[in-house]
Amino acid sequence: ETGVTQSPTHLIKTRGQQVTLRCSSQSGHNTVSWYQQALGQGPQFIFQYYREEENGRGNFPPRFSGLQFPNYSSELNVNALELDDSALYLCASTPKGRLGKGEQYFGPGTRLTVT
Amino acid sequence: QQQVKQSPQSLIVQKGGISIINCAYENTAFDYFPWYQQFPGKGPALLIAIRPDVSEKKEGRFTISFNKSAKQFSLHIMDSQPGDSATYFCAATDNTDKLIFGTGTRLQVFP
């Protein structure tokens, strides 16, 4: 069984640029959630995607947007990058039938550095 | 009300000892309380989780104790090993699936 995978592993961008991060959910999972983890802190919920629609959002500005595709994979897009966006971006997937039960399995993350 | 408070920030334990990490929450709507283990440069791995209808759950060397009235829960790692050295996060959520994480505990187990 393949776990959650994310790409790229590392990324360096300049302030003001745009970035797209990708996530493939674990086999048998159909919901994807994205989290931002700043250095030395716990992950913070950005948003969740279910049936290709946003299904809940945390306290992040609209320049953070996402997509989910029919194969349940997902993208996180961040526009107008700011220095504070430097963080580890984590994708987590939820097994089919377990939406709303809290169970989430995380990928290895994408380390984004904004200079 | 959405916060999950975690302590201690760091913990040093000798091999074979018991590691204890505590968390407290305010939101009574929370109904799922997982613990995650995270190694440097890796994503959090689900270790063990509990729902409020039980007061304790044990999986191998890992035990969650849950006190619903006090709104507290804790992770106990028995017979701690050097390979357990990692950062541990408690979390909580309700039916929105929005996991609220604690601030993390860095555990170091020395031989």
pLDDT in tens, B71-101: 999 999 999 999 999 999 999 999 889 999 9
- Assess contact for B89 and B6: CB atoms under 8 A: yes
CA dihedral A96, A98, A100, A103 (to 10 degrees): -110
- Residue A10 Cα, gap to closest chain B Cα (Å): 11
Q: What is the pLDDT of residue A101?
A: 87
Does B2 have pLDDT greater than 80? no
Residue B26 forms contact with A (CB below 8 Å): no
Span A57-88, pLDDT tens digits: 999 999 999 999 999 999 999 999 999 999 99
Residue B84 sits at φ, ψ, to 5 deg, of -80, -10
Give the chain B residue whose CA is nearest to the CA of A55.
B96
Closest CA to B100 of A77, A109, A35, A87: A35
Whether residue A1 is predicted with pLDDT greater than 80 in this model: the reply is no
Question: How near does any CA of chain A get to the CA of B95, in Å?
Answer: 4
User: And the tokens for A92?
Assistant: 């987590």
Cβ contact A42–B102 (<8 Å): yes
Q: What is the mean pLDDT of residues B30-46?
A: 95
The pLDDT of B42-71, averaged and rounded, is: 96
Confidence (pLDDT) at A100: 87
Pick from B39, B43, B44: nearest CA to B91? B44
Asked if B47 has any chain A CB less than 8 Å from its own CB, the reply is no
Q: Which residues of A touch B96 (CB under 8 A)?
A: 56, 100
Query: Looking at residues A86-97, what average pLDDT do you find?
Result: 95
What pLDDT, on a 0 to 100 scale, did the predictor assign at position B61?
Answer: 97
Residue A2: pLDDT over 80: no
